[in-house]
């Protein structure tokens, strides 16, 4: 079975998006060109930021139709992250909300990709 190694987002500006994720997640930009940037997430998985204009084959998807999710320890950490990201100026699509899977909020990156932070419901 192939190894999962990349999460690719199609973006308007790989450089601007790389800077955004570098600052938001405190991770280094390890590769950058005019059409692509790459940052390490964890366990060998990379975040690839590919220029929407140069993606082959051309993409038909719109930003916001999928999500990148981040798990935190508890509902208080959801609230803390929400406050920190809102203070940074991120657009908030959903404020902290209790749902059947746990507590969550959704922010948007500069291209409109959803960034969901959640604390799973305790079992």
pLDDT in tens, 8-38: 999 999 999 999 999 999 999 999 999 999 9
Joined tokens for residue 65:
């139709």
Rounded Cα distance, 60 and 74, in Å: 36
The rounded average pLDDT for each run of 10 residues, N- to C-terminus, in the chain (123 residues) is: 89 96 97 97 93 89 82 97 97 97 96 95 75
DSSP the chain: -PPP-EEEEEES-HHHHHHHHHHHHT----EE-SSEEEEE-STT-EEEEEETTT-SSPP---TTSSEEEEE-SSHHHHHHHHHHHHHTT-EEEEEEEEETTEEEEEEE-TT--EEEEEEEPP-
Rounded Cα distance, 79 and 10, in Å: 28
User: pTM for the full model?
Assistant: 0.89
Phi-psi category of 102—alpha, beta or left, where left has phi over 0 and alpha has psi -120 to 50?
left
């Amino acid at each position: 079975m192939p190894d999962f190694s990349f999460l690719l987002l199609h973006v308007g500006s790989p450089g601007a998006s790389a800077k955004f994720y570098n600052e938001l997640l405190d991770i280094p930009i390890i590769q950058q060109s005019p059409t692509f940037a790459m940052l390490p997430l964890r366990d060998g998985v990379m975040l690839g930021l590919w220029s929407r204009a140069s993606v082959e084959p051309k993409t038909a998807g719109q930003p916001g139709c999928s999500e990148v999710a981040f798990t935190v320890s508890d509902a208080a950490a959801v609230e803390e992250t929400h406050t920190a990201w809102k203070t940074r100026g991120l657009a908030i699509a959903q404020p902290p909300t209790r749902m059947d899977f746990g507590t969550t909020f959704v922010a948007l990156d500069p291209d409109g990709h959803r960034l969901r932070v959640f604390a799973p419901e305790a079992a």
